[in-house]
Structure 1
């Protein structure tokens, strides 16, 4: 099975966030996670967003790699 690689902007679109370069930069500059907090537990996600991220990681879906990238970017 072919593994799909999603661009970072596509993850932002999937989460219902501004996926423009400036929108992504603004989001990353405005949100930070403490080292001991799981990405899916961040207070700025809606329930639907948190569920999407959690399922993507748990299922090791084709979103998992880019979700990991988001996690690192928020640290």
Structure 2
């Protein structure tokens, strides 16, 4: 069985955040750069449920993991 295909905007919807391209761009700009040693899920911009989702996506290598990795890179890049 194939894994479902998710888009970056779907990840933001899953996190309960606005998912249009401008909102995604503004969110990332507002919250980056995260310190190099900080895990994405530990960033102060997440509530507990969002942080748990991000942590579990990576730990379980869920179908969301690739998009969470993409967000992790974007959030750690310099402003």
Q: TM-score range by the shorter chain?
A: over 0.9
**1:55 equivalent in structure 2:** 56
The Cα shift of 1:6 comes to 1.1
Q: Number of matched residues?
A: 75
**2:45 equivalent in structure 1:** 44
Which structure 2 residues correspond to residues 20-35 of structure 1 after superposition, within 5 A? Answer: 20-32=20-32, 33-35=34-36
Cα RMSD for the two superposed structures: 0.8
Counterpart secondary structure, 1:54 = helix
Counterpart secondary structure, 2:12 = helix
Taking structure 2 as the reference length, the TM-score comes to 0.90
**2:75 equivalent in structure 1:** 74
Residues of 1 paired with 2:35 and 2:58: CA distance?
A: 19
The Cα shift of 1:65 comes to 0.3
Residues of 1 paired with 2:46 and 2:25: CA distance?
A: 17
